[in-house]
Structure 1
Amino acid sequence: MTKTKVGIVFGGKSAEHEVSLQSAKNIVDAIDKEKYEVVLLGIDKQGKWHINNTSSYLINEENPKLIQLNKSNEQVAVVPGAENGQLVNMSRTDGLDQVDVVFPIVHGTLGEDGSIQGMLRLANLPFVGTDVLGSAVSMDKDYAKRLLHGAGIAVANGMTFRKSKQNEIDFVKVKEALGLPMFIKPANQGSSVGVSKVRNEEEFYQGMKDAFQYDQKVLVEEAIVGREIECAVLGNEDPIASLPGEVLPQTDFYSYESKYIDETGAELAAPADLSDELTKKVQQAAVEVFQTLDCEGMARVDFFLQENGELVVNEVNTLPGFTKISMYPRLWGISGIPYAELIDRLITLAVERHERNNQLKNTMWDE
Protein backbone atom coordinates (compact mmCIF):
# COMPACT_ATOMS: atom_id res chain seq x y z
CA MET A 1 0.00 0.00 0.00
CA THR A 2 1.32 3.44 -0.97
CA LYS A 3 1.59 5.64 2.07
CA THR A 4 0.16 9.17 2.16
CA LYS A 5 2.99 11.65 2.68
CA VAL A 6 2.10 14.11 5.45
CA GLY A 7 4.14 17.27 5.92
CA ILE A 8 3.98 18.34 9.57
CA VAL A 9 4.79 22.05 9.85
CA PHE A 10 5.67 23.16 13.37
CA GLY A 11 7.58 25.73 15.43
CA GLY A 12 7.32 29.24 14.02
CA LYS A 13 7.96 32.90 14.88
CA SER A 14 5.48 32.92 17.71
CA ALA A 15 5.33 33.20 21.48
CA GLU A 16 3.85 29.69 21.31
CA HIS A 17 6.87 28.19 19.51
CA GLU A 18 7.68 25.72 22.30
CA VAL A 19 4.05 24.57 22.56
CA SER A 20 4.09 23.84 18.84
CA LEU A 21 7.20 21.66 19.25
CA GLN A 22 5.39 19.64 21.91
CA SER A 23 2.30 19.30 19.70
CA ALA A 24 4.40 18.09 16.77
CA LYS A 25 6.11 15.49 18.93
CA ASN A 26 2.81 14.04 20.07
CA ILE A 27 1.44 13.92 16.51
CA VAL A 28 4.60 12.22 15.21
CA ASP A 29 4.46 9.67 18.02
CA ALA A 30 0.76 8.89 17.48
CA ILE A 31 0.25 9.01 13.71
CA ASP A 32 -0.41 5.67 11.99
CA LYS A 33 3.00 4.80 10.51
CA GLU A 34 1.47 2.01 8.42
CA LYS A 35 -0.73 4.53 6.59
CA TYR A 36 1.30 7.75 6.65
CA GLU A 37 4.87 8.77 5.90
CA VAL A 38 5.92 11.81 7.92
CA VAL A 39 7.91 14.73 6.50
CA LEU A 40 8.99 17.14 9.23
CA LEU A 41 9.19 20.83 8.37
CA GLY A 42 10.35 22.80 11.40
CA ILE A 43 10.23 26.61 11.42
CA ASP A 44 12.79 28.27 13.65
CA LYS A 45 12.24 31.49 15.61
CA GLN A 46 13.77 33.51 12.75
CA GLY A 47 11.18 32.11 10.34
CA LYS A 48 13.45 29.74 8.39
CA TRP A 49 11.99 26.39 7.35
CA HIS A 50 14.08 23.28 8.02
CA ILE A 51 13.77 19.72 6.75
CA ASN A 52 14.11 17.61 9.86
CA ASN A 53 14.75 13.97 10.61
CA THR A 54 12.22 12.21 12.85
CA SER A 55 15.02 10.81 14.99
CA SER A 56 16.66 14.14 15.85
CA TYR A 57 14.30 17.07 15.30
CA LEU A 58 14.04 18.17 18.94
CA ILE A 59 16.45 19.10 21.72
CA ASN A 60 15.36 18.62 25.37
CA GLU A 61 12.14 17.09 24.10
CA GLU A 62 11.03 15.91 27.54
CA ASN A 63 11.33 19.37 29.14
CA PRO A 64 8.60 21.81 27.98
CA LYS A 65 10.55 24.78 29.34
CA LEU A 66 13.81 23.90 27.54
CA ILE A 67 12.51 22.17 24.40
CA GLN A 68 14.10 23.46 21.18
CA LEU A 69 14.03 22.83 17.44
CA ASN A 70 17.17 21.06 16.26
CA LYS A 71 17.94 23.14 13.18
CA SER A 72 19.08 21.18 10.15
CA ASN A 73 21.42 22.17 7.34
CA GLU A 74 18.62 21.67 4.84
CA GLN A 75 16.16 24.51 4.39
CA VAL A 76 12.94 24.42 2.44
CA ALA A 77 10.94 26.96 0.46
CA VAL A 78 7.39 26.86 -0.84
CA VAL A 79 6.83 27.51 -4.55
CA PRO A 80 3.30 28.82 -5.24
CA GLY A 81 1.53 27.43 -8.28
CA ALA A 82 3.98 24.65 -9.12
CA GLU A 83 2.31 21.52 -10.44
CA ASN A 84 5.00 19.32 -8.92
CA GLY A 85 7.55 19.95 -6.23
CA GLN A 86 5.80 22.80 -4.40
CA LEU A 87 8.33 22.23 -1.62
CA VAL A 88 11.92 22.85 -2.69
CA ASN A 89 15.10 21.88 -0.85
CA MET A 90 17.08 25.15 -0.88
CA SER A 91 20.32 23.36 -0.03
CA ARG A 92 20.20 21.43 -3.30
CA THR A 93 17.65 23.58 -5.21
CA ASP A 94 15.67 20.48 -6.13
CA GLY A 95 12.10 19.58 -5.37
CA LEU A 96 11.24 17.35 -2.47
CA ASP A 97 9.21 14.24 -3.07
CA GLN A 98 5.64 15.43 -3.37
CA VAL A 99 3.85 15.99 -0.04
CA ASP A 100 0.23 14.87 -0.30
CA VAL A 101 -1.19 16.88 2.60
CA VAL A 102 0.14 19.33 5.18
CA PHE A 103 -0.63 19.25 8.89
CA PRO A 104 0.24 22.74 10.18
CA ILE A 105 0.56 22.80 13.95
CA VAL A 106 2.11 26.26 14.27
CA HIS A 107 0.22 27.91 17.12
CA GLY A 108 -0.31 31.63 17.42
CA THR A 109 0.93 34.43 15.17
CA LEU A 110 1.75 33.45 11.56
CA GLY A 111 0.42 29.97 12.24
CA GLU A 112 -3.28 30.06 12.97
CA ASP A 113 -4.05 33.58 11.73
CA GLY A 114 -4.47 32.67 8.06
CA SER A 115 -0.83 33.29 7.08
CA ILE A 116 0.29 29.69 6.56
CA GLN A 117 -3.16 28.80 5.30
CA GLY A 118 -2.94 31.41 2.53
CA MET A 119 0.52 30.25 1.53
CA LEU A 120 -0.64 26.63 1.32
CA ARG A 121 -3.65 27.66 -0.76
CA LEU A 122 -1.30 29.42 -3.20
CA ALA A 123 0.83 26.27 -3.34
CA ASN A 124 -2.32 24.21 -4.03
CA LEU A 125 -1.58 21.90 -1.11
CA PRO A 126 -4.36 20.41 1.03
CA PHE A 127 -3.93 21.25 4.70
CA VAL A 128 -5.49 20.32 8.02
CA GLY A 129 -7.65 22.86 9.82
CA THR A 130 -9.58 26.02 9.08
CA ASP A 131 -9.11 27.96 5.85
CA VAL A 132 -7.82 31.54 5.51
CA LEU A 133 -10.88 33.57 6.50
CA GLY A 134 -11.95 31.45 9.45
CA SER A 135 -8.39 31.32 10.75
CA ALA A 136 -7.93 35.09 10.54
CA VAL A 137 -11.20 36.12 12.19
CA SER A 138 -11.01 33.46 14.90
CA MET A 139 -7.48 34.53 15.81
CA ASP A 140 -8.46 38.18 16.16
CA LYS A 141 -10.51 38.23 19.37
CA ASP A 142 -11.87 41.69 18.54
CA TYR A 143 -13.34 40.71 15.17
CA ALA A 144 -14.41 37.28 16.35
CA LYS A 145 -16.47 38.90 19.11
CA ARG A 146 -18.03 41.33 16.63
CA LEU A 147 -19.11 38.48 14.34
CA LEU A 148 -20.45 36.38 17.20
CA HIS A 149 -22.31 39.32 18.71
CA GLY A 150 -23.82 40.09 15.30
CA ALA A 151 -25.08 36.50 15.11
CA GLY A 152 -26.78 36.85 18.50
CA ILE A 153 -24.20 34.77 20.37
CA ALA A 154 -23.30 36.01 23.86
CA VAL A 155 -19.75 37.32 24.42
CA ALA A 156 -18.17 39.25 27.29
CA ASN A 157 -18.38 43.04 27.25
CA GLY A 158 -15.09 44.56 26.25
CA MET A 159 -13.12 47.47 24.85
CA THR A 160 -10.40 47.45 22.19
CA PHE A 161 -7.31 49.67 22.21
CA ARG A 162 -4.53 50.19 19.67
CA LYS A 163 -0.88 50.68 20.51
CA SER A 164 -0.73 53.94 18.54
CA LYS A 165 -3.31 55.39 20.96
CA GLN A 166 -2.07 53.85 24.20
CA ASN A 167 -1.31 57.24 25.77
CA GLU A 168 -5.03 58.02 25.61
CA ILE A 169 -6.11 54.96 27.62
CA ASP A 170 -7.87 55.99 30.85
CA PHE A 171 -8.14 53.41 33.64
CA VAL A 172 -11.05 55.22 35.32
CA LYS A 173 -13.18 55.16 32.16
CA VAL A 174 -12.41 51.51 31.51
CA LYS A 175 -13.20 50.63 35.12
CA GLU A 176 -16.55 52.45 34.89
CA ALA A 177 -17.44 50.49 31.76
CA LEU A 178 -16.23 47.02 32.72
CA GLY A 179 -15.79 46.96 36.51
CA LEU A 180 -13.16 45.07 38.46
CA PRO A 181 -11.60 42.60 38.12
CA MET A 182 -11.06 42.66 34.36
CA PHE A 183 -8.88 40.78 31.89
CA ILE A 184 -6.38 42.22 29.42
CA LYS A 185 -5.51 40.20 26.31
CA PRO A 186 -3.49 40.75 23.14
CA ALA A 187 -6.11 40.57 20.39
CA ASN A 188 -4.07 38.21 18.22
CA GLN A 189 -2.45 35.78 20.61
CA GLY A 190 -3.70 32.51 22.02
CA SER A 191 -2.99 30.21 24.93
CA SER A 192 -3.10 33.01 27.52
CA VAL A 193 0.10 34.59 26.14
CA GLY A 194 0.26 38.16 27.45
CA VAL A 195 -3.01 37.80 29.36
CA SER A 196 -3.36 39.33 32.83
CA LYS A 197 -6.06 39.60 35.44
CA VAL A 198 -6.43 43.18 36.72
CA ARG A 199 -7.69 44.25 40.14
CA ASN A 200 -6.40 47.83 40.42
CA GLU A 201 -4.93 50.74 38.47
CA GLU A 202 -1.30 49.67 38.83
CA GLU A 203 -2.05 46.18 37.51
CA PHE A 204 -4.09 47.72 34.68
CA TYR A 205 -1.29 49.82 33.24
CA GLN A 206 1.26 47.05 33.74
CA GLY A 207 -1.10 44.59 32.03
CA MET A 208 -1.56 46.95 29.07
CA LYS A 209 2.20 47.37 28.77
CA ASP A 210 2.70 43.59 28.82
CA ALA A 211 -0.05 42.91 26.27
CA PHE A 212 1.24 45.53 23.83
CA GLN A 213 4.53 43.63 23.68
CA TYR A 214 2.68 40.89 21.78
CA ASP A 215 0.23 42.78 19.57
CA GLN A 216 -0.66 46.17 18.15
CA LYS A 217 -4.22 45.72 19.41
CA VAL A 218 -5.34 44.83 22.93
CA LEU A 219 -8.71 43.71 24.24
CA VAL A 220 -9.94 44.51 27.77
CA GLU A 221 -12.87 42.39 28.94
CA GLU A 222 -15.13 42.22 31.94
CA ALA A 223 -14.60 39.24 34.22
CA ILE A 224 -17.35 36.67 33.71
CA VAL A 225 -18.26 34.59 36.73
CA GLY A 226 -18.91 31.06 35.60
CA ARG A 227 -17.59 27.57 35.05
CA GLU A 228 -14.99 27.20 32.28
CA ILE A 229 -16.43 24.75 29.79
CA GLU A 230 -14.61 23.64 26.64
CA CYS A 231 -15.92 21.72 23.65
CA ALA A 232 -14.02 20.30 20.68
CA VAL A 233 -15.52 20.49 17.17
CA LEU A 234 -14.53 18.31 14.21
CA GLY A 235 -15.68 18.44 10.60
CA ASN A 236 -16.18 20.54 7.49
CA GLU A 237 -19.70 21.07 6.24
CA ASP A 238 -21.34 18.85 8.87
CA PRO A 239 -19.27 19.30 12.04
CA ILE A 240 -19.76 17.31 15.22
CA ALA A 241 -19.02 18.29 18.83
CA SER A 242 -17.30 16.30 21.54
CA LEU A 243 -18.50 15.80 25.06
CA PRO A 244 -17.73 19.02 26.95
CA GLY A 245 -14.96 19.22 29.51
CA GLU A 246 -14.54 21.57 32.43
CA VAL A 247 -11.32 23.35 33.31
CA LEU A 248 -10.72 23.54 37.05
CA PRO A 249 -7.71 25.89 37.42
CA GLN A 250 -5.59 25.37 40.47
CA THR A 251 -4.17 28.86 39.97
CA ASP A 252 -5.81 32.30 39.79
CA PHE A 253 -6.81 31.74 36.15
CA TYR A 254 -6.08 29.32 33.31
CA SER A 255 -2.64 30.64 32.41
CA TYR A 256 -0.11 29.61 29.74
CA GLU A 257 1.82 27.47 32.23
CA SER A 258 -1.38 25.79 33.42
CA LYS A 259 -2.20 24.81 29.85
CA TYR A 260 1.13 23.52 28.61
CA ILE A 261 3.82 23.23 31.27
CA ASP A 262 2.46 22.55 34.74
CA GLU A 263 0.49 19.31 34.66
CA THR A 264 -0.92 20.18 38.11
CA GLY A 265 -1.83 23.74 37.11
CA ALA A 266 -5.35 22.75 36.15
CA GLU A 267 -7.63 19.75 36.35
CA LEU A 268 -9.91 18.67 33.55
CA ALA A 269 -13.23 17.14 34.42
CA ALA A 270 -13.90 15.04 31.36
CA PRO A 271 -16.72 14.83 30.71
CA ALA A 272 -17.92 17.89 32.57
CA ASP A 273 -20.48 17.34 35.30
CA LEU A 274 -23.43 18.63 33.30
CA SER A 275 -26.99 17.49 32.82
CA ASP A 276 -27.87 15.89 29.49
CA GLU A 277 -29.75 19.07 28.60
CA LEU A 278 -26.77 21.32 29.32
CA THR A 279 -24.38 18.96 27.54
CA LYS A 280 -26.50 19.16 24.41
CA LYS A 281 -26.76 22.93 24.75
CA VAL A 282 -22.96 23.29 24.90
CA GLN A 283 -22.48 21.00 21.90
CA GLN A 284 -25.04 22.86 19.81
CA ALA A 285 -23.56 26.22 20.78
CA ALA A 286 -20.03 25.04 19.92
CA VAL A 287 -21.11 23.97 16.43
CA GLU A 288 -22.96 27.28 15.94
CA VAL A 289 -19.86 29.26 16.92
CA PHE A 290 -17.69 27.05 14.66
CA GLN A 291 -19.90 27.72 11.65
CA THR A 292 -20.43 31.42 12.39
CA LEU A 293 -16.67 31.99 12.25
CA ASP A 294 -16.32 29.91 9.06
CA CYS A 295 -14.22 27.23 10.76
CA GLU A 296 -13.43 23.88 9.18
CA GLY A 297 -11.49 20.81 10.19
CA MET A 298 -11.11 21.48 13.88
CA ALA A 299 -11.52 24.05 16.62
CA ARG A 300 -11.91 24.20 20.36
CA VAL A 301 -14.66 26.50 21.60
CA ASP A 302 -14.35 27.82 25.15
CA PHE A 303 -17.33 29.04 27.15
CA PHE A 304 -18.21 30.44 30.52
CA LEU A 305 -21.28 28.69 31.93
CA GLN A 306 -23.07 31.14 34.21
CA GLU A 307 -25.13 30.19 37.21
CA ASN A 308 -28.37 30.90 35.32
CA GLY A 309 -27.39 28.32 32.67
CA GLU A 310 -26.43 30.86 30.02
CA LEU A 311 -23.30 30.38 27.92
CA VAL A 312 -20.85 33.17 27.12
CA VAL A 313 -18.16 32.52 24.49
CA ASN A 314 -14.65 33.11 25.80
CA GLU A 315 -12.59 32.29 22.71
CA VAL A 316 -12.17 29.97 19.73
CA ASN A 317 -8.91 28.19 18.95
CA THR A 318 -8.61 26.88 15.38
CA LEU A 319 -5.25 25.13 15.90
CA PRO A 320 -5.57 23.90 19.46
CA GLY A 321 -2.66 22.30 21.25
CA PHE A 322 -1.88 18.64 20.67
CA THR A 323 0.40 18.18 23.68
CA LYS A 324 -0.14 15.31 26.09
CA ILE A 325 -2.16 17.57 28.42
CA SER A 326 -4.03 19.50 25.69
CA MET A 327 -7.80 19.66 25.87
CA TYR A 328 -8.70 19.07 22.22
CA PRO A 329 -7.38 15.50 21.84
CA ARG A 330 -8.39 14.66 25.41
CA LEU A 331 -11.99 15.70 24.78
CA TRP A 332 -12.18 13.55 21.65
CA GLY A 333 -10.57 10.70 23.57
CA ILE A 334 -13.43 10.66 26.08
CA SER A 335 -15.90 11.02 23.19
CA GLY A 336 -14.73 7.80 21.54
CA ILE A 337 -12.14 9.04 19.04
CA PRO A 338 -8.60 8.06 20.13
CA TYR A 339 -5.58 10.20 19.23
CA ALA A 340 -4.41 8.29 16.13
CA GLU A 341 -7.94 8.12 14.71
CA LEU A 342 -8.39 11.85 15.34
CA ILE A 343 -5.27 12.61 13.29
CA ASP A 344 -6.55 10.32 10.53
CA ARG A 345 -9.93 12.07 10.44
CA LEU A 346 -8.33 15.52 10.29
CA ILE A 347 -6.16 14.50 7.35
CA THR A 348 -9.18 13.02 5.55
CA LEU A 349 -11.14 16.24 6.10
CA ALA A 350 -8.25 18.27 4.68
CA VAL A 351 -8.13 16.20 1.48
CA GLU A 352 -11.92 16.29 1.09
CA ARG A 353 -12.04 20.08 1.33
CA HIS A 354 -9.14 20.44 -1.11
CA GLU A 355 -10.90 18.24 -3.66
CA ARG A 356 -14.14 20.16 -3.15
CA ASN A 357 -12.41 23.50 -3.73
CA ASN A 358 -10.62 22.23 -6.83
CA GLN A 359 -13.98 21.45 -8.42
CA LEU A 360 -14.81 25.17 -8.53
CA LYS A 361 -14.46 26.92 -11.88
CA ASN A 362 -11.64 29.44 -12.22
CA THR A 363 -12.74 30.87 -15.55
CA MET A 364 -16.01 32.22 -16.95
CA TRP A 365 -15.55 30.40 -20.24
CA ASP A 366 -15.42 26.73 -21.05
CA GLU A 367 -12.01 25.60 -22.17
Structure 2
Amino acid sequence: MLAHATVAVLMGGRSSEREVSLSSGHMVLAALATPSTSADRRGPARVIGVEILADGRWRVGKRSLPPGEALSVLADVDVFFTALHGGEGENGSLQGFLTCSDMPFTGSGVIASAVSMDKVFARELVQARGVRVAPAVALSRVHWPRAGWEDVERALRAELEPLVERGCVVKPRRGGSSVGCSIVRGARQFQHAAE
Protein backbone atom coordinates (compact mmCIF):
# COMPACT_ATOMS: atom_id res chain seq x y z
CA MET A 1 0.00 0.00 0.00
CA LEU A 2 1.40 3.37 -0.98
CA ALA A 3 -0.64 5.40 1.49
CA HIS A 4 1.66 7.64 3.52
CA ALA A 5 4.72 6.10 1.82
CA THR A 6 7.78 7.90 0.54
CA VAL A 7 8.67 6.88 -3.02
CA ALA A 8 11.96 7.73 -4.72
CA VAL A 9 11.88 7.58 -8.52
CA LEU A 10 15.28 6.60 -9.95
CA MET A 11 15.96 7.87 -13.47
CA GLY A 12 18.78 8.76 -15.83
CA GLY A 13 21.76 6.45 -15.48
CA ARG A 14 24.87 5.82 -17.52
CA SER A 15 23.45 3.79 -20.41
CA SER A 16 22.76 4.91 -23.95
CA GLU A 17 19.09 5.03 -22.92
CA ARG A 18 19.63 7.82 -20.39
CA GLU A 19 17.35 10.36 -22.11
CA VAL A 20 14.49 7.85 -22.43
CA SER A 21 14.89 7.04 -18.74
CA LEU A 22 14.74 10.72 -17.76
CA SER A 23 11.52 11.08 -19.75
CA SER A 24 10.03 7.97 -18.11
CA GLY A 25 11.10 9.15 -14.67
CA HIS A 26 9.47 12.56 -15.07
CA MET A 27 6.24 10.90 -16.25
CA VAL A 28 6.26 8.59 -13.21
CA LEU A 29 6.90 11.56 -10.89
CA ALA A 30 3.96 13.43 -12.40
CA ALA A 31 1.68 10.40 -12.22
CA LEU A 32 2.53 9.66 -8.58
CA ALA A 33 2.23 13.29 -7.52
CA THR A 34 -1.25 13.74 -9.03
CA PRO A 35 -4.07 11.37 -8.05
CA SER A 36 -6.07 10.39 -11.11
CA THR A 37 -9.45 10.94 -9.43
CA SER A 38 -10.70 12.63 -6.29
CA ALA A 39 -11.50 9.17 -4.92
CA ASP A 40 -7.90 8.04 -5.48
CA ARG A 41 -6.16 9.50 -2.43
CA ARG A 42 -4.18 6.41 -1.47
CA GLY A 43 -1.05 7.48 -3.34
CA PRO A 44 2.30 8.16 -1.72
CA ALA A 45 2.66 10.91 0.84
CA ARG A 46 5.94 12.07 -0.70
CA VAL A 47 7.61 11.51 -4.07
CA ILE A 48 11.30 12.26 -4.60
CA GLY A 49 13.04 12.41 -7.97
CA VAL A 50 16.55 10.96 -7.96
CA GLU A 51 18.66 11.36 -11.09
CA ILE A 52 21.55 8.99 -11.59
CA LEU A 53 24.09 11.13 -13.40
CA ALA A 54 26.28 10.03 -16.31
CA ASP A 55 29.25 9.78 -13.92
CA GLY A 56 27.31 7.40 -11.61
CA ARG A 57 26.64 9.91 -8.84
CA TRP A 58 23.06 10.34 -7.62
CA ARG A 59 21.44 13.78 -7.64
CA VAL A 60 19.17 14.13 -4.64
CA GLY A 61 17.70 17.62 -4.60
CA LYS A 62 20.63 19.90 -5.39
CA ARG A 63 23.29 17.49 -4.09
CA SER A 64 25.32 15.07 -6.23
CA LEU A 65 26.42 12.14 -4.09
CA PRO A 66 28.12 8.77 -4.46
CA PRO A 67 25.42 6.04 -4.44
CA GLY A 68 26.15 4.88 -0.87
CA GLU A 69 25.92 8.41 0.53
CA ALA A 70 22.74 9.01 -1.47
CA LEU A 71 21.13 5.96 0.12
CA SER A 72 21.99 7.34 3.57
CA VAL A 73 20.24 10.60 2.66
CA LEU A 74 17.30 8.57 1.32
CA ALA A 75 17.07 6.25 4.36
CA ASP A 76 13.41 7.17 4.98
CA VAL A 77 12.32 6.07 1.47
CA ASP A 78 9.81 3.22 1.59
CA VAL A 79 10.26 2.07 -2.00
CA PHE A 80 12.46 2.94 -4.97
CA PHE A 81 10.61 3.11 -8.28
CA THR A 82 13.14 2.19 -10.97
CA ALA A 83 12.52 4.15 -14.16
CA LEU A 84 15.95 3.29 -15.54
CA HIS A 85 16.41 1.82 -19.01
CA GLY A 86 19.26 -0.40 -20.13
CA GLY A 87 22.68 -0.83 -18.58
CA GLU A 88 22.98 -0.87 -14.81
CA GLY A 89 19.30 -0.05 -14.40
CA GLU A 90 18.16 -3.33 -15.93
CA ASN A 91 21.10 -5.75 -15.78
CA GLY A 92 20.92 -6.60 -12.09
CA SER A 93 23.58 -4.14 -10.88
CA LEU A 94 21.20 -1.59 -9.36
CA GLN A 95 18.93 -4.37 -8.13
CA GLY A 96 21.89 -5.98 -6.33
CA PHE A 97 22.94 -2.67 -4.80
CA LEU A 98 19.43 -1.95 -3.51
CA THR A 99 18.96 -5.53 -2.31
CA CYS A 100 22.27 -5.52 -0.41
CA SER A 101 21.29 -2.16 1.08
CA ASP A 102 17.93 -3.58 2.24
CA MET A 103 16.01 -1.05 0.16
CA PRO A 104 12.74 -2.21 -1.46
CA PHE A 105 12.34 -1.47 -5.17
CA THR A 106 9.97 -2.08 -8.06
CA GLY A 107 10.65 -4.48 -10.90
CA SER A 108 12.56 -7.73 -11.20
CA GLY A 109 15.21 -8.92 -8.79
CA VAL A 110 18.92 -9.42 -9.39
CA ILE A 111 18.90 -12.80 -11.14
CA ALA A 112 15.86 -12.18 -13.34
CA SER A 113 17.28 -8.82 -14.40
CA ALA A 114 20.75 -10.19 -15.19
CA VAL A 115 19.42 -13.19 -17.12
CA SER A 116 16.87 -11.25 -19.16
CA MET A 117 19.38 -8.52 -20.13
CA ASP A 118 21.79 -11.07 -21.64
CA LYS A 119 20.02 -12.04 -24.85
CA VAL A 120 22.29 -15.01 -25.60
CA PHE A 121 21.96 -16.53 -22.14
CA ALA A 122 18.21 -15.84 -21.96
CA ARG A 123 17.72 -17.44 -25.39
CA GLU A 124 19.69 -20.55 -24.38
CA LEU A 125 17.78 -20.79 -21.11
CA VAL A 126 14.31 -20.66 -22.64
CA GLN A 127 15.36 -22.95 -25.50
CA ALA A 128 16.58 -25.52 -22.95
CA ARG A 129 13.09 -25.38 -21.39
CA GLY A 130 11.46 -26.24 -24.73
CA VAL A 131 10.50 -22.77 -25.98
CA ARG A 132 10.93 -22.40 -29.74
CA VAL A 133 13.36 -19.64 -30.64
CA ALA A 134 14.48 -18.09 -33.92
CA PRO A 135 17.84 -19.16 -35.37
CA ALA A 136 20.69 -17.04 -34.02
CA VAL A 137 24.45 -16.68 -34.04
CA ALA A 138 26.19 -14.96 -31.14
CA LEU A 139 29.28 -13.00 -32.10
CA SER A 140 31.92 -11.85 -29.65
CA ARG A 141 35.19 -9.97 -29.80
CA VAL A 142 36.90 -13.33 -30.41
CA HIS A 143 35.35 -13.25 -33.90
CA TRP A 144 37.15 -9.98 -34.70
CA PRO A 145 40.81 -10.96 -35.11
CA ARG A 146 43.39 -8.28 -35.81
CA ALA A 147 43.37 -9.11 -39.52
CA GLY A 148 39.89 -7.59 -39.88
CA TRP A 149 36.41 -8.18 -41.21
CA GLU A 150 37.48 -10.62 -43.96
CA ASP A 151 38.56 -13.17 -41.34
CA VAL A 152 35.24 -12.86 -39.53
CA GLU A 153 33.33 -13.28 -42.75
CA ARG A 154 35.38 -16.33 -43.76
CA ALA A 155 35.11 -18.00 -40.34
CA LEU A 156 31.36 -17.49 -39.99
CA ARG A 157 30.20 -17.69 -43.60
CA ALA A 158 28.46 -21.07 -43.22
CA GLU A 159 26.56 -19.95 -40.13
CA LEU A 160 25.79 -16.38 -41.06
CA GLU A 161 25.17 -16.38 -44.79
CA PRO A 162 21.71 -18.03 -44.70
CA LEU A 163 20.55 -15.67 -41.94
CA VAL A 164 22.00 -12.51 -43.47
CA GLU A 165 20.71 -13.15 -46.97
CA ARG A 166 17.16 -13.80 -45.70
CA GLY A 167 17.32 -10.81 -43.43
CA CYS A 168 18.19 -10.73 -39.77
CA VAL A 169 18.34 -8.54 -36.72
CA VAL A 170 21.72 -7.45 -35.33
CA LYS A 171 21.55 -6.32 -31.73
CA PRO A 172 24.01 -5.88 -28.86
CA ARG A 173 24.09 -8.86 -26.54
CA ARG A 174 23.35 -6.84 -23.43
CA GLY A 175 21.73 -3.64 -24.67
CA GLY A 176 18.18 -2.75 -23.87
CA SER A 177 15.38 -1.37 -26.01
CA SER A 178 16.17 -0.90 -29.69
CA VAL A 179 19.41 1.05 -29.20
CA GLY A 180 22.03 -0.44 -31.51
CA CYS A 181 19.45 -2.65 -33.20
CA SER A 182 19.57 -3.01 -36.99
CA ILE A 183 17.51 -5.01 -39.45
CA VAL A 184 19.87 -6.07 -42.22
CA ARG A 185 19.70 -7.88 -45.51
CA GLY A 186 22.96 -8.81 -47.18
CA ALA A 187 26.63 -8.93 -46.19
CA ARG A 188 27.37 -5.22 -46.58
CA GLN A 189 24.51 -4.13 -44.28
CA PHE A 190 25.49 -6.86 -41.82
CA GLN A 191 29.11 -5.73 -41.72
CA HIS A 192 28.06 -2.13 -41.06
CA ALA A 193 25.64 -3.16 -38.27
CA ALA A 194 28.05 -5.61 -36.63
CA GLU A 195 30.92 -3.15 -36.51
1:217-366 aligned at under 5 Å gives the runs none
Query: In the alignment, what sits opposite 2:65?
Result: 76
Are 1:20 and 2:9 counterparts?
no
Secondary structure, in 3 states, of the residue corresponding to 1:164? Answer: helix
Indicate which of 193, 202, 205 corresponds to 2:188. 202
Query: In the alignment, what sits opposite 2:31?
Result: 30
Q: Structure 2 CA distance, aligned partners of 1:2 and 1:172?
A: 59
Secondary structure, in 3 states, of the residue corresponding to 1:39? Answer: strand
> TM-score if structure 1 supplies the norm length?
0.46
Percent sequence identity is 32
Secondary structure, in 3 states, of the residue corresponding to 1:7? Answer: strand
Are 1:150 and 2:134 counterparts?
no
Aligned length: 178
Residue identity opposite 2:95 in structure 1: Q
Q: Structure 1 CA distance, aligned partners of 2:33 and 2:49?
A: 15
Are 1:135 and 2:135 counterparts?
no
Are 1:48 and 2:57 counterparts?
yes
Query: In the alignment, what sits opposite 1:111?
Result: 89
1:175-186 aligned at under 5 Å gives the runs 175-176=161-162, 179-186=165-172
Query: Which string of whole-angstrom CA distances, capped at 9 and with x for unpartnered residues, describes residues 217-242 of structure 1?
Result: xxxxxxxxxxxxxxxxxxxxxxxxxx
Q: Structure 2 CA distance, aligned partners of 1:86 and 1:42?
A: 11
Q: Structure 2 CA distance, aligned partners of 1:185 and 1:131?
A: 24
Residue identity opposite 1:76 in structure 2: L
Are 1:161 and 2:170 counterparts?
no
Query: Which string of whole-angstrom CA distances, capped at 9 and with x for unpartnered residues, describes residues 38-63 of structure 1?
Result: 111101122221013xxxxxxxxxxx
Residue identity opposite 2:109 in structure 1: D
Indicate which of 84, 87, 103 corresponds to 2:71. 87
Q: Structure 1 CA distance, aligned partners of 2:59 and 2:70?
A: 15
> TM-score if structure 2 supplies the norm length?
0.83
Q: Structure 2 CA distance, aligned partners of 1:86 and 1:28?
A: 19
Residue identity opposite 1:163 in structure 2: R
| Structure 1 runs (4+) greater than 4 angstroms displaced | none
| Unmatched runs of 5 consecutive residues or more in structure 1 | 53-71, 80-84, 89-94, 210-367
Indicate which of 43, 67, 78 corresponds to 1:100. 78
Residue identity opposite 1:184 in structure 2: V
Q: How far is the alpha carbon of 1:206 from its aligned partner? A: 0.6
For the aligned residues, what is the CA RMSD? Answer: 2.1
Contact persistence 1:181–1:199 (CA under 8 A): yes
Contact persistence 1:117–1:132 (CA under 8 A): yes
Query: In the alignment, what sits opposite 2:100?
Result: 122
Q: Structure 1 CA distance, aligned partners of 2:131 and 2:102?
A: 34
Q: Structure 2 CA distance, aligned partners of 1:208 and 1:30?
A: 39
Q: How far is the alpha carbon of 1:169 from its aligned partner? A: 2.3
Secondary structure, in 3 states, of the residue corresponding to 2:131? Answer: coil
Q: How far is the alpha carbon of 1:172 from its aligned partner? A: 2.9
Query: Which string of whole-angstrom CA distances, capped at 9 and with x for unpartnered residues, describes residues 260-318 of structure 1?
Result: xxxxxxxxxxxxxxxxxxxxxxxxxxxxxxxxxxxxxxxxxxxxxxxxxxxxxxxxxxx
Q: Structure 1 CA distance, aligned partners of 2:128 and 2:76?
A: 43
Q: How far is the alpha carbon of 1:178 from its aligned partner? A: 6.0
Query: In the alignment, what sits opposite 1:192?
Result: 178
Distance 1:96 1:152, change over 3 A: closer
Q: Structure 2 CA distance, aligned partners of 1:3 and 1:86?
A: 22
Contact persistence 1:8–1:102 (CA under 8 A): yes
Q: Structure 2 CA distance, aligned partners of 1:39 and 1:164?
A: 44
